[in-house]
Amino acid sequence: MRFSLLALLVLVTLACLILGWWQFIHLERQRLIRRRDVLEKHVADLSAELKRKWEDLLDIKRGMDIPESAAASALQEVDVKRLDRLISDISDASRLDAELQRDEVAPIDLHKLVQALVTIGNEVKKDNVTIKLSFEGGGPERFKVPGHDSRVGQVVTNLIDNARSFSPPGGTVRVTCRRLRKEIEIIVDDDGPGVRPDAMEKIFERFYTDRPEHGFGQNSGLGLSISKQIVEAHGGRVWVENRMAPGEHGGDPRVLGARFVVRLPAM
């Protein structure tokens, strides 16, 4: 009797171990499949973008009625910057996924971090745009989130850089950190043209870029997609809204500017 009870116990323990092991393998397999899908999509997007750029270059070259060598050197000059930017952004994005999974999460002092980034932004002042910062909903100790400080900093910098690039000359970008009950919002407002309703989702896709000074500039179209990836890895959300003013004399409402909102779980 005692023997069969012991055997039963051993059997149950073994069954539990096998079940646990099987579940672990199953989860690990799913994680690898997800990672493979992300990588595949990334490579597909990348090659499509490189192909588009290459065709753009060929089009420009065909349209230029200048000697072969002069055209080649002009193209090289305008595109080296863009390619350089594109390649460094791509290599940054490809490290991101692994880094966010691997590295330890630590408390981030958003009060300090955002203040430092705004100070640096105002010191650079390359475009005569001023960045203003305010905090709502509590003292500095209420602005802590768990995460990767350099990556969250990268999100704030991306949003500020975009906002200042769309601001009118001498304009202001307003950054507001707001403590909600269980979350913290970082809001970046500008007085630019805002975002077209049909582009509100698209702007977060890889390589989407739509700027008035379009061409082979400084913009890879990766800033917002990287930001979204970082925010979601922190369990948060990012979205864009347009700030509106009611229309005058019964006319249509007017866009006052864009508002980007990042919402992160607070500590």
Ligand X SMILES: Nc1ncnc2c1ncn2[C@@H]1O[C@H](COP(=O)(O)OP(=O)(O)O)[C@@H](O)[C@H]1O
Return the residue of 131, 224, 262, 266 that touches ligand X, per CB under 6 A.
224
Query: Is position 229 an interface residue for ligand X (rule: CB under 6 A)?
Result: no
Size of interface with ligand X, in residues (CB under 6 A): 22
In order of 53, 66, 214, 218, the CA distances from 60 in angstroms are 11, 11, 14, 18
Beta-bridge partners for 130: 172
Query: Is position 236 an interface residue for ligand X (rule: CB under 6 A)?
Result: no
Q: Which of residues 136-195 bind ligand X (CB under 6 A)?
A: 158, 162-163, 166, 190, 192-195
CA-based nearest residue to 157, from 119, 199, 106: 119
Burial class (CB in 10 A: 0-12, 13-18, 19+), 217: middle
Please tell me the distance from the alpha carbon of residue 258 to that of residue 239, in angstroms, as a whole number: 11
Return the residue of 121, 153, 194, 223 that touches Mg ion, per CB under 5 A.
223
Closest approach of Mg ion to the CB of residue 202, in Å: 14
Return the one option of Mg ion, ligand X, none that residue 190 interacts with (CB less than 5 to 8 A, by type). Answer: ligand X
Residue nearest to ligand X (CB): 223
Closest approach of Mg ion to the CB of residue 158, in Å: 6
Return the residue of 223, 238, 263, 266 that touches ligand X, per CB under 6 A.
223
Question: Dihedral, CA atoms, 155, 160, 165, 166, nearest 10 degrees?
Answer: 100
Closest approach of Mg ion to the CB of residue 65, in Å: 34
CB 264 within 8 A of CB 236: yes
> 240-261 burial, b if ≥16 CB within 10 A, otherwise e?
bebeeeeeeeeeeeebebbbbb
Closest approach of ligand X to the CB of residue 203, in Å: 3
Burial class (CB in 10 A: 0-12, 13-18, 19+), 160: buried
Q: Residue 89 or 179: which CB sits closer to ligand X?
A: 89
Query: Is position 147 an interface residue for Mg ion (rule: CB under 5 A)?
Result: no
Return the one option of ligand X, Mg ion, none that residue 210 interacts with (CB less than 5 to 8 A, by type). Answer: ligand X
Which residue in the block uniquely carries the two structure tokens 């409402």?
A: 253
As given in the structure block, the two tokens for residue 66 are 């200048």
Return the one option of ligand X, Mg ion, none that residue 258 interacts with (CB less than 5 to 8 A, by type). Answer: ligand X
In order of 3, 17, 19, 22, 100, the CA distances from 8 in angstroms are 9, 14, 16, 21, 44
Closest approach of ligand X to the CB of residue 213, in Å: 10
The DSSP output letter for 66 is: S
Closest approach of Mg ion to the CB of residue 162, in Å: 4
Query: Is position 101 an interface residue for ligand X (rule: CB under 6 A)?
Result: no
Q: Which residues bind Mg ion (CB under 5 A)?
A: 162, 223
Q: Which residues bind ligand X (CB under 6 A)?
A: 158, 162-163, 166, 190, 192-195, 203, 208-211, 219-225, 258
